[in-house]
Amino acid sequence: MSLLESIETPKDLRSMRVEQLDTLAQEIRDRIIDKVSRSGGHLAPNLGVVELSIALHRVFDFSHDRLLFDVGHQCYPHKLLTGRLSKLDKLRTRQGMSGFPEPDESPYDLFRVGHAGTGISTAVGMARGDQITGQGYDPSKNADGRRVVTLIGDASIVNGVAMEGLNNAGTLKRQMLIVLNDNGMSISKPQGAMAQYFDRVRVSHTYSDFKKGAKELLKSVPGGSLLQEAYHRMGEMTKAAITEDSWFEKFGLLTVGPIDGHDLPTLIEFLSEARDVDRPMILHVKTTKGKGLDVAERDATKFHSPKAFNVERDELRGCIVEMKSSGRSFTSAFSDALTDVMERDESVVCATAAMPDGTGTSKPIDRFPDRSFDTGICESHALDMLAGMAKCGLRPFFAVYSTFLQRAFDQAFQEVSLQGLGVRLCLDRAGLVGGDGAVHHGFCDVSILRTLPDAVLIAAIDEPSLVKSLEFMRTWDSSLSAVRYPRDDVSELFGESPEFELGRARLLTPGFEDLDTNRPDVAVLSYGTVAVNAHQAIESLGDEYRVAHWDARFAKPIDTNLIRALLSRNIPVLTLEDHSVVGGFGSALLECAQEFGLDASRVVRHGIPDRWVFQDSRNDQLREVGLDMLGIARMIRHSADPEKHEPFVAPMIERDVSNAQQTQSRV
């Protein structure tokens, strides 16, 4: 039995000899590389925190103490150390291990975490909560109390919420440890003054530098008297590594490091000393993203979250990686389309928030470096910055995952819509996203943006329609506009796309132009790429029902002429969307019917149900909620003849929480 296989809980890790831990680290890396190479997943960020995860679980008892993750995609080693090795083989599926912290899997996971910047604030909350309930660690009053640790990484420290958390962490009068995993990377190369500061710190300090003047420093910083008391309780190694003139000390936080995040004995010693400091402190740990796989170390951005790949080792060429190919993605199609727009219009600028590869903006950034920007993990800042550019007469495009747009909704409201500025949102990963699961689904962009007056909301169904939507948005200067598209390959089913006309749907089934002459049994209005599955469903029905199918194109303004034409003739209408049924395109249609006093009793809405959909393949998720071909065919039958055909009802598929229950009983 390997060392990793012998671990059921971290208690087993704490019984190992220190000399065995390097072997354990290698076993963890080997398992993660093997699995992610076969299925895809977050690779480089997890390889970089193997030793750090081992050291944390070696020193702290997180069955009692609190461990909070900031960016959750660095949790694989933590999961393997907390009894979930058996779930690794089905990583990112319903039967296996989520790619993010998941409380239903294990009591060692406290929050579902998929966004960034939140770890410090939730840690401050738990530190205060334990203090109020009398459970918090206090060396004199409650030495057995709960300690709080939060692990920050992938440059999320620059996020605005992280800044707010730091500002409040410095006011704590109890233990709280912030472990800053500084790997010199975000998802891509980090941006901004903070990144430059860390670059300087990593190359300019040695332990001997820190030791000089440490006591004098403690006297001068805010809260210095409290920190000076903490200093006297530290070991000599930690004293020697106190960072002189650290940026974090302006928040009243004692700062130690940077230390080598791959040196297990050093990590364990520092954490052991930091464990009992009863003041908030930051341990600055320097790691290498992708550690242990040379190609991932050389290109951590490419291997941040790769698709499945093959690894071959050649004596002459070294490690060779071949990515398993698939079809052309919407992201690639967007990249080419945006580059073309920027080539033709010098007023177009673009930005992304730490996701140039993920959103397809790497190509325009390389091609037009003076008009393309990566702000780091700062969605709110990015959108405000683009609002400023729009005010200067430019035409900004913001490429962002739908799930991360939520972080900038206030800016979409206040600085864009309220000002009547033409900022364009390009929402990648809209709808169900597959293996990343509930933390990353783009299921509410329509519902939140539809509340903004004059907003224009578009969905693309394929590459030609995506190209035409960007061109439409390019010249739409009077209000916020947005186009959504999924994490999927583009379809070639529908051929060339006509130009977009504001608030007008596109008929996909010729022959139904005149509803009086050719009345359908049911009208399907699909919003977005569900049009592909809807088309296949209609074909599968053959002559069973006469179905007219429209690509709705716009959720706002909706095609009121079409809706009035359908409902005034009492034609059953089925709306389809890869978005929540709450507040989505179907809701917009019902509101339109009410506004015009039309009978909407024959309208059936179908989309993502009002519940969480957890990790699995995107196709399996679409099947689960009935947005695959069979589910849509069933809904068409029900819409046409509700007395004869039952609607599709998404089953409640429970995740396997037996591992969490077993772990709970052990801890």
For 20-133, where are the E strands, in sequence order?
A: 66-69
Residue with tokens 């995952």: 401
CA distances to 4, 15, 69, 98, 370 from 8, in Å:
9, 12, 21, 18, 53
Q: Is 27 a catalytic residue?
A: no
Residue 79: name the closest of 61, 55, 101 by CA: 101
Residues 6+ apart with CB under 8 A from 125: none
Q: Six-digit token pair at 517? A: 């002459």
Write out the H or E segment, with its range, that includes residue 549: strand 547-551
Please pick, among 31, 112, 146, 289, the residue that the annotation labels catalytic. Answer: 289
The answer to whether residue 623 is catalytic is no
b/e code 408-434 from CB counts within 10 Å (16+ = b):
bbebbbebbbeeebbbbbbbbbbbbbb
The answer to whether 151 and 101 are in contact (CB under 8 A) is no
In 3D space, the residue among 422, 374, 420 whose CA is nearest the CA of residue 400 turns out to be 374
Tokens of 527: 């919003």
Q: Which of 51, 102, 379, 624 is catalytic?
A: 379
Q: How far is CA 18 from the centre of its chain?
A: 35
Residue 178, phi then psi, degrees to nearest 5 = -105, 115
**Beta-carbon contacts of residue 472 (< 8 Å; ≥ 6 apart):** 458, 499, 500
Q: What is the distance between the alpha carbons of residues 632 and 623, in angstroms, rounded to a whole number?
A: 10
Active-site annotation holder among 58, 112, 147, 407:
407
324 a catalytic residue: no
User: Which has the closest alpha carbon to 184: 294, 297, 306, 99?
Assistant: 297
521: left (phi over 0), alpha (psi -120 to 50) or beta: alpha
Task: Write out the catalytic residue numbers.
Answer: 289, 379, 407
